[in-house]
A = this chain, B = another copy of it.
Amino acid sequence: MARSPLTREAVLETAAALVRQHGPAALTMRKLAAELGTAVTSIYWHVGNREQLLDALVERTVQDMGAIRPSGRTPAERIVSVARSMRRELRERPHLIAMVHERGLTDRMFLPAQRALVAEVRAAGLSGARAADAVRAVQFQVVGFVLVERNRERSPVQSPGEGELWEPAAAPGDPALARALARPVDPERLFLLSVRTLTEALLAAG
């Protein structure tokens, strides 16, 4: 595909596509060059070395994160809605998000979401250091949950799975508990439960 003159934008575009589909490990300078129909070394002229290329992709991702529109009737409901938006946005770009995270730009990426959280926390009557704690607790919880979830999906075959390890004997006198632990996790449900519980407890302190 040796086409129109190579441009920084084109390089980033193709690189982003490669990462999105196959992860950052699949982004080699040589494959990228082949994809673009140029010599490997041309890439260096436009975007610098591999590290700088990845940095540029990350920067792009951070810019692309949309604004957050809270919805719901109470502050708690609106915080939960913000959390769900954060999770959705994270899950849509798993590879790129991991790279953003590795570069320590997660906070900057979540600045719009954080502003929304601040507003809701204040609306619930919290202020000062207490309000800051609540905002950060929710933010850590959401990002952490998505990280755990992502890794679980990457290798869904827990060996041996949680299941086998939780024979009824493991929770004597409570077969329902044993059965529940033997079932695979429903992440969506657990996420909602966790965020809702934490949020309501944090706001109740106000």
User: Is A174 a contact partner of B108 (Cβ separation < 8 A)?
Assistant: no
Using CB atoms, name the residue of chain B closest to A143: B148
Residue in B103, B146, B154, B197 whose CB lies within 8 Å of A202? B197
Which B residues touch A200, using CB under 8 A? Answer: 201
Residue in B102, B140, B143, B154 whose CB lies within 8 Å of A190? B140
Q: Which of A103-127 contact B (CB under 8 A)?
A: 103-108, 111, 114-115, 118, 122, 127
User: Is B177 a contact partner of A104 (Cβ separation < 8 A)?
Assistant: no
User: Which residues in A have some Cβ–Cβ distance to B below 8 Å?
Assistant: 101-108, 111, 114-115, 118, 122, 127-129, 131-133, 135-137, 140-141, 143-148, 151-152, 154-162, 165, 170-171, 174, 176-177, 180-181, 185, 190, 193-194, 197-198, 200-202, 205
User: Is A148 a contact partner of B140 (Cβ separation < 8 A)?
Assistant: yes
| Copies in the assembly, this chain | 2
Using CB atoms, name the residue of chain B closest to A128: B176
- Quick one: which of A133, A156, A161 has the most chain B CB within 10 A? A133
User: Is A103 a contact partner of B155 (Cβ separation < 8 A)?
Assistant: yes
User: Is B160 a contact partner of A108 (Cβ separation < 8 A)?
Assistant: yes
Which B residues touch A202, using CB under 8 A? Answer: 197
Which B residues touch A108, using CB under 8 A? Answer: 158-160, 162, 165
Using CB atoms, name the residue of chain B closest to A175: B128
